[in-house]
Amino acid sequence: MTMHLLPAYWTTTNHKKGKKKKKLTKSMEQSLIAHEKFLQKMGVDSNYVRVPTPLKTVQVSKQLPLRENINDYDWRIHIPKASEKLYKGNAVLGQAYNKGNLVVLSSSEAKDSATGKRR
């Protein structure tokens, strides 16, 4: 007999019973009592129940400009320009190896005619 012919209660892997509630230990009870005393000292009511804030159902719409005043607005897009990055040093960029990326070359490597031809 194959597994797919069996009813669902034979193929389930969940045989757990419901989880039992854990009983409070003495240290847990003491910590709860200490916390309640702390809350009373801070002025929090022990019977306080938080009331959730109501959902906002009204959409706030912005007042659009009137047609006669629409030409008074500046409608240009303002995009800040990125400053150009200029290097003002005396380092040399070049290929140190054949078919390699550009790297910073030292002054001796830049003068060497074999630079870029190494393998």
d(CA 109, CA 119): 15
Nearest-5° angle of CA 72, CA 74, CA 80? 170
User: Residues near 83 by Cβ (< 8 Å), separated by ≥ 6?
Assistant: none
Element (H, E) at 102: strand 102-105
User: In this predicted structure, what is the pLDDT of residue 12?
Assistant: 66
DSSP assignment letter at 67: G
Residues 117 and 97: beta-carbon distance below 8 Å: no
d(CA 25, CA 92): 74
pLDDT in tens, 48-57: 888 888 888 8
Q: What is the pLDDT confidence band of residue 22, given thresholds at 50, 70 and 90?
A: confident
Q: Which residue has the tokens 């995009």?
A: 79
pLDDT in tens, 44-99: 888 888 888 888 888 877 777 666 666 666 777 777 777 777 777 778 888 877 77
- SS3 for 95? strand
d(CA 36, CA 47): 11
